[in-house]
Structure 1
Amino acid sequence: MASQSVDIYERLSMVAQDGDIERLYELIAESPNILEHFDNVSFCETPLHIAAEKGQTHFAMELMTLKPSLALKLNLSGFSPMHLALQHNHIRIVRGFLAIDSSLISIKGRGRITPLHYVAQLGNEELLSEFLFACPSSVEDLTIKCETAVHIAVKSHQFMAFKVLLGWVRRVNKEEILDWKDEDGNTVFHIAASINQTEVDVSLVI
């Protein structure tokens, strides 16, 4: 019985890699509680993690519909499916996740880094704007180093991402975020000065 149980989850992993929705439903027919298993494990690689990493968009969306809780799971490395989709540049999956559950933008992975933090580090301005509009409160999320997405954009020398974030905090009257300090006691202005990002200094003054 145990070997049969292991076998079905191995098959589920292969189905997720292939993005085969028909075979997914065959496995569900064989074992109707197959997806319930992941709710009982604190940290695990779910089929949604696998689909997100492999870029299997339709399969990922199907799984999200069948079992939304899979999107909240962190794998053994501390990453959610949304984190993995971003890391592997599967933007279509990212937008699919966003359409189904915009709160995933604030899901905290390793180091309390959210998808918004990650996109600020990458400097993807278009995705950054989409994230902010979809989940406005995400701009207040802090990493374990007490960094906001604005801190991260400046530290990563992503000036255009910083401009998007600056425009957003001004638009929603959250400019106090610019005065928040990271674990070293530095505001965005302090960091910009220390790494000689004069563009940031000028933008903050304007």
Structure 2
Amino acid sequence: MDEQLRTAAENGDIHALYRKLADDPYILDRIDHIPIVDTPLHVASVAGKPHFAMKVANLKPSLAWKLNHMGLSPIHLALQHKCIKMIEDPDLLAEFLSACPSSVEDTTVHCETAVHVAIRNGSIRCFKVLLGWLGRVDKEDVLNWKDEDGNTALHIAVSSGQTEASFDCFL
């Protein structure tokens, strides 16, 4: 990725993003053509810059479901790095999911969905947002998807003693 764009994503500098786009309006398109890549969304997710990430997702929604070399989408990275603003702010998470609804079906290289990752990281508020989203878009079947070890999100919640999440999975 272009170093100026990477720096803008790390710093959450939306003005620098627009300056870069003014200089090179196709930069996001070129990134989108790379099959496996860290996008500005990935970088902003790790850096905890949700407003920058949302701006990029609105400009180029397809980048939201790109996987990096570890098989992780931007939302998975936000969950793993406990970027609270990115993953536990219901409005931001809902906006992210609205910009890229299919990202809720993305899986990591370990066949984990964002729901698996939220439960593994103990992000109950995030889990509840995802659960609500799955219900709204009629994708509750994602809750039954198994990771590479054959565990659903419910299995993980029960085995780690997260009773609140376990109960919600049954509803």
Q: CA deviation at 1:130?
A: 1.2
Superposition RMSD on alpha carbons, in Å? 2.0
TM-score, normalised to structure 2, is 0.83
Q: CA deviation at 1:83?
A: 1.3
Moved over 6 A (4+): none
Higher radius of gyration, 1 or 2 = 1
- Which residue in the other structure is 2:5 paired with? 48
User: In the alignment, is the contact (CA less than 8 A) between 1:52 and 1:93 conserved in 2?
Assistant: yes
Question: In the alignment, is residue 61 of structure 1 matched against residue 18 of structure 2?
Answer: yes
| Counterparts of 2:109 and 2:12, CA distance in 1 | 29
How has the CA–CA distance of structure 1 residues 70 and 62 changed in structure 2, closer, same or farther, with 3 Å as cutoff?
farther
Question: In the alignment, is residue 125 of structure 1 matched against residue 118 of structure 2?
Answer: no
Out of 145, 149, 152, the position equivalent to 2:114 is 149
Residues 56-95 of structure 1 mapped to structure 2, 5 A cutoff: 56-64=13-21, 66-67=25-26, 68-72=28-32, 79-95=38-54
Q: CA deviation at 1:45?
A: 4.5
| Higher RCO (CA 8 Å, separation ≥ 6 residues) | 2
User: In the alignment, is the contact (CA less than 8 A) between 2:157 and 2:163 conserved in 1?
Assistant: yes
Structure 1: tracts of 5 or more residues without a match: 1-43
User: In the alignment, is the contact (CA less than 8 A) between 2:146 and 2:152 conserved in 1?
Assistant: yes
Q: CA deviation at 1:110?
A: 3.0
Out of 81, 92, 102, the position equivalent to 2:61 is 102
| Counterparts of 2:7 and 2:89, CA distance in 1 | 27
Paired positions, count? 160
Partner SS for 2:150: coil
- Which residue in the other structure is 1:21 paired with? none
User: In the alignment, is the contact (CA less than 8 A) between 1:178 and 1:187 conserved in 2?
Assistant: yes
**Percent of residue pairs bearing the same amino acid type:** 39
Structure 2: tracts of 5 or more residues without a match: none
- Which residue in the other structure is 2:135 paired with? 170
How has the CA–CA distance of structure 1 residues 117 and 124 changed in structure 2, closer, same or farther, with 3 Å as cutoff?
same
Deviation digits for residues 84-105 of structure 1, max 9, x if unmatched?
Answer: 1222222332122122112221
Question: In the alignment, is residue 111 of structure 1 matched against residue 70 of structure 2?
Answer: yes
TM-score, normalised to structure 1, is 0.70
| Counterparts of 1:71 and 1:128, CA distance in 2 | 23
